[in-house]
């Protein structure tokens, strides 16, 4: 075991896979010499060579599109997009090719690639540096979307993502890149994609969250506990394929559900979970599903961001609303 | 070659004139007489298949199809140089190159009949599916080229795009990536003068397309795309350049799309009969035939019976495509992921329940 931040855990996962599998390359803007703007790839070029860890020209479509080509030719590229808000120029390559090559070629070609990038607010950044756009990818047939919430999960999930033969969108909550330290095994381990985790058991209400919202939800659960409310917390870990079974089982028990995410409310992950819960355990619901989610607005610049960001109190407010319904 | 025919001076690389006379013997590619006759026959076969494809579509037996009529020498030149291990990253109008790579005509028809199976090109080594989003494949070629260098393989990538595609961002990004990475890619732009209805002069203010490559540090040349000898020579030089570690090459192949953009298009809306006729004398097959006849390599009187033989073969392939199995529901889901999510399995099962219910309605 070694105490790691999420950044270190991601670096460690990349290092292990680069060492183990010569078909893996990782590249993107500033990924090589500098080690990425968040230093996630720091030291990897020195260790694994310039042909395996490298800077690309500054062009997102070029990065993802060339990774598609590499994957078709037998490599397993892991590409970094600098920020969630910078991915958009690559959408055509992600949606039209990375998500479809296997289907289009009836399995002759596959795209075992990972597109990883930091997402989410709370870091006092410029415009386009704070959004949570997981839903855009979760909606696209052919993609899988993974969001870790801890250093341990980041390592295990990223290794699974790199080993997957499908295209994986791997979104890293940059707000907790260095905020959480945790003991993480130094050796290789994997966490299955598509499986949620019950972080704490409870009987009165189920709270589903992921990424940076897990830490906020845990604080909210502590507030609820003081007031005698027993909440069950589920970390989704993977947005798609979504683990509806774990959510359904929990709601069967508690009868109440609060879903938390940073991204906009309307047509969001919480909306989809709400529909699923209604389909699966309608008769067990004792209250409408409560969404504690972002406004349908742009994330404000730093001076206004506190209005947008979801606090533990706001999550607890949602929990109370559900429990008192 | 790249210096002598500088795109900056808008030079056109040409070996044979429209009457089949060799005007630049010093640039004549080395091709055996036998190979040359085969190239002519292949172009003739591609044209026969292409004309018949349009007619099948008109008969309602196939969906939208993009004709190649008038552009056969570009694929013809590629076919002479491309090796089995080389990669073909197609756009959608290189019928002759697909066939040369080993794609079956039956499969090609299958694709335009509405089966993904048709774009798998199973018989063609290192050929990727047709790329419909314009120019997006230009970037894939750079990535494949990177992988070739990475694995130290003796392979060259051939990537094709149209004149309209050169306005796309991915054209610039792909060329730039390939250049920076020194990727062994031969980029071929089929400048057939139109992007559906938009003429070349409304596409760019550049004097030609080849100059765009120079800005990226890519050796580039503008070639008469209706001259099989010029195309073959340019592709040979480009191939050697790319294969010897000198990086990508951009070939602008100037041609004219004598047919419609696709069978859904009506060229009379945006161009005149006079214009079409002014290009007819540059037809690549007619020019090559003139050369071959002069050299006593071709007997024109035998062409008719050869074409009727080709027609029978095309019909056979088309009928095989028409007799292909119906599209099973399973195939809608089966290939989307390597590891299929449970949600998809459930959606399929739910749909099957509906189908069963629907049967009960009768």
B176 and A51 in contact by Cβ < 8 A?
no
Q: Is residue A168 part of a domain?
A: yes
Q: How far is the CA of A151 from the CAs of A55, A82, A178, A184, in angstroms?
A: 25, 19, 9, 7
- Whole-angstrom Cα distance, residue B175 to residue B161? 12
Residues of chain A where predicted confidence (pLDDT) is lower than 50: none
Q: Which two tokens stand for residue B319?
A: 């009928």
Residues of chain B where predicted confidence (pLDDT) is lower than 70: none
The domain containing residue A89 runs over which residues?
Answer: 2-184
User: CA triplet A91, A97, A101: central angle to 5 degrees?
Assistant: 155
Report chain A residues whose CB lies below 8 A from the CB of B169.
Answer: 61, 89
Residue of A nearest to B339 (CA): A166
Report chain A residues whose CB lies below 8 A from the CB of B140.
Answer: 65-66, 68-69, 72, 97
**Per-residue pLDDT tens over the stretch A283-321:** 999 999 999 999 999 999 999 999 999 999 999 999 999
Q: Select from B117, B142, B144 the Cβ nearest to the Cβ of A106.
A: B117
Q: Which two tokens stand for residue A70?
A: 């590499």
Domain shared by A101 and A232, yes or no: no
Domain shared by A295 and A164, yes or no: no
Q: Which two tokens stand for residue A101?
A: 């090559």
A70 close to B (CB below 8 A): yes
Q: Is residue A190 part of a domain?
A: no
**Residue A113's closest CA among A158, A62, A152?**
A158
Q: Do A11 and A42 meet the contact criterion of CB atoms below 8 Å apart?
A: yes
ipTM, 2 dp: 0.96
Q: How far is the CA of B94 from the CAs of A282, A298, B46, B78, B88, in angstroms?
A: 55, 45, 10, 10, 10
What pLDDT score does B286 carry? 97
Q: Is B261 marked active-site?
A: yes
- Whole-angstrom Cα distance, residue A28 to residue A48? 16
Q: Which two tokens stand for residue B334?
A: 């089966």
Q: Is residue A191 part of a domain?
A: no
What pLDDT score does A215 carry? 97
Domain shared by A180 and A207, yes or no: no
Smallest Cα distance from B170 to chain A, Å: 7
The number of folded domains in chain A is 2
Which of A121, A154, A184 is the last residue in one of the domains? Answer: A184
Count of H-run helices and E-run strands, chain B = 14, 7
Which of A154, A184, A214 is the last residue in one of the domains? Answer: A184
B326: DSSP letter: P
Q: What is the CATH number of the domain that holds A216?
A: 3.40.50.920
- Whole-angstrom Cα distance, residue A27 to residue A50? 10
**Per-residue pLDDT tens over the stretch B117-128:** 999 999 999 999
- Whole-angstrom Cα distance, residue B176 to residue B50? 34
Domain shared by A89 and A210, yes or no: no
Q: What is the CATH number of the domain that holds A148?
A: 3.40.50.970
Domain shared by A152 and A299, yes or no: no
A238 close to B (CB below 8 A): no
CA B5 to chain centre: 24
Domain shared by A33 and A171, yes or no: yes
**Which residues of chain B are at the A interface, by a Cβ-Cβ cutoff of 8 Å?**
87, 89, 116-117, 119-120, 122, 128-129, 131-133, 136, 139-148, 150-151, 169-170, 173-174, 176-177, 180, 331, 334-339, 341-343
Domain shared by A58 and A113, yes or no: yes
Q: Which two tokens stand for residue B151?
A: 């694995």
Class of CATH domain B7-327: alpha beta
**Choosing among A21, A29, A59, A69, which should be mutated to test the B contact, i.e. which has the most B CBs within 10 A?**
A69
**Residue B229's closest CA among B44, B24, B9?**
B24
Domain shared by A33 and A159, yes or no: yes
Length of chain B: 362
> In this structure, what are the phi and psi dihedrals at residue B353, rounded to the nearest 5 degrees?
-60, -45
User: CA triplet A300, A304, A306: central angle to 5 degrees?
Assistant: 105
The DSSP bridge partners found for residue B195 are B198
**Per-residue pLDDT tens over the stretch B223-232:** 999 999 999 9
- Whole-angstrom Cα distance, residue A140 to residue B163? 30
Q: Select from A67, A73, A108 the Cβ nearest to the Cβ of B148.
A: A73
Catalytically annotated residues of A: 129
Domain shared by A242 and A212, yes or no: yes
A103 and B176 in contact by Cβ < 8 A?
no
- Whole-angstrom Cα distance, residue B95 to residue B54? 13
The DSSP bridge partners found for residue B1 are none
Q: Which two tokens stand for residue B169?
A: 């961002």
> Sign of dihedral through CA atoms B322, B325, B329, B330?
negative
Helix (H, G, I), strand (E, B) or coil at A315: helix
Strands B219-224 and B249-254: parallel
Which of A143, A158, A184 is the last residue in one of the domains? Answer: A184
Q: Is B271 marked active-site?
A: no
Domain shared by A170 and A296, yes or no: no
**Residue A320's closest CA among A232, A242, A195, A231?**
A231
B-proximal residues of A, 35-54, CB under 8 Å: 51
């Amino acid at each position: 075991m070694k105490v790691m931040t999420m950044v270190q855990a991601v670096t460690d996962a990349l290092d292990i896979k680069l060492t183990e599998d010569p078909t893996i390359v990782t590249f993107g803007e500033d990924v090589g010499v500098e080690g990425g703007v968040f230093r996630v790839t720091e030291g990897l070029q020195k260790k694994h060579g310039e042909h395996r860890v490298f800077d690309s020209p500054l062009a997102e479509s070029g990065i993802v599109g060339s990774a598609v080509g590499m994957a078709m030719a037998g490599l397993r590229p892991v590409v970094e997009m600098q920020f969630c808000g910078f991915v958009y120029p690559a959408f055509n390559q992600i949606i039209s090719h990375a998500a479809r090559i296997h289907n289009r070629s009836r399995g002759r070609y596959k795209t075992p690639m990972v597109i990883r990038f930091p997402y989410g607010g709370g870091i006092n950044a410029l415009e386009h540096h704070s959004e949570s756009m997981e839903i855009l990818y979760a909606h696209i047939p052919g993609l899988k979307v993974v969001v870790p919430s801890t250093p341990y999960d980041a390592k295990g999930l990223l290794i699974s993502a790199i080993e997957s033969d499908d295209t994986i969108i791997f979104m890293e909550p940059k707000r907790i890149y260095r905020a959480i330290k945790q003991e993480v095994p130094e050796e290789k381990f994997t966490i299955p994609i598509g499986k949620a985790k019950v972080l704490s058991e409870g009987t009165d209400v189920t709270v589903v969250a992921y990424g940076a919202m897990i830490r906020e939800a845990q604080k909210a659960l502590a507030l609820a506990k003081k007031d005698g409310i027993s909440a069950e917390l589920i970390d989704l870990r993977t947005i798609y394929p979504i683990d509806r079974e774990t959510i359904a089982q929990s709601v069967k028990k508690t009868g109440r559900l609060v879903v938390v995410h940073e991204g906009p409310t309307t047509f969001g992950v919480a909306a989809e979970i709400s529909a699923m819960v209604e389909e699966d355990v309608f008769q067990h619901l004792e209250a409408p599903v409560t969404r504690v989610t972002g406004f349908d607005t742009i994330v404000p610049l730093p001076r206004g961001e506190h209005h947008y960001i979801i606090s533990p109190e706001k999550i607890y407010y949602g929990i109370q609303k559900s429990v008192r319904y | 070659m790249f210096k002598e025919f500088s795109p900056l001076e808008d030079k056109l690389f040409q070996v044979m004139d429209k009457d089949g006379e060799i005007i630049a013997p010093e640039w004549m590619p080395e091709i055996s007489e036998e190979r040359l006759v085969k190239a002519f026959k292949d172009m003739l076969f591609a044209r026969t298949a292409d004309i018949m494809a349009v007619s099948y579509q008109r008969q309602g037996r196939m969906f939208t199809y993009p004709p190649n009529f008038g552009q056969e020498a570009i694929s013809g030149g590629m076919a002479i140089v491309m090796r089995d291990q080389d990669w073909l990253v197609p756009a959608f109008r290189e019928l002759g190159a697909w066939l040369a790579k080993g794609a079956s005509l039956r499969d090609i028809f299958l694709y335009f009949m509405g089966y993904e199976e048709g774009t798998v090109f199973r018989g063609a080594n290192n050929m990727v599916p047709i790329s419909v989003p314009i120019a997006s494949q230009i970037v894939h070629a750079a990535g494949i080229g990177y992988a070739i260098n990475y694995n130290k393989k003796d392979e060259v990538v051939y990537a094709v795009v149209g004149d309209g595609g050169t306005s796309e961002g991915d054209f610039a990004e792909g060329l730039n990536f390939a250049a920076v990475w020194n990727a062994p890619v031969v980029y071929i732009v089929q400048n057939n003068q139109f992007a559906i209805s938009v003429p070349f002069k409304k596409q760019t203010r550049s004097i030609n397309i080849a100059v765009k490559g120079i800005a990226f540090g890519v050796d580039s040349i503008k070639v008469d795309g209706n001259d099989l000898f010029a195309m073959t020579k340019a592709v040979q030089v480009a191939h050697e350049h790319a294969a010897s570690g000198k990086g990508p090459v951009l070939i602008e192949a100037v041609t004219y799309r004598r047919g419609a953009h696709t069978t859904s298009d009506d060229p009379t809306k945006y161009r005149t009969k006079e214009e079409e006729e002014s290009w007819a004398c540059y037809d690549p097959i007619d020019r090559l035939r003139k050369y071959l006849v002069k050299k006593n390599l071709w007997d024109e009187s035998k062409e008719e019976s050869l074409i009727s033989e080709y027609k029978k073969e095309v019909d056979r392939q088309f009928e095989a495509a028409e007799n292909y199995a119906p599209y099973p529901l399973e195939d809608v889901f089966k290939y989307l992921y390597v590891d299929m999510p449970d949600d998809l399995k459930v959606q399929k099962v739910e749909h099957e329940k509906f189908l069963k219910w629907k049967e009960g309605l009768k």
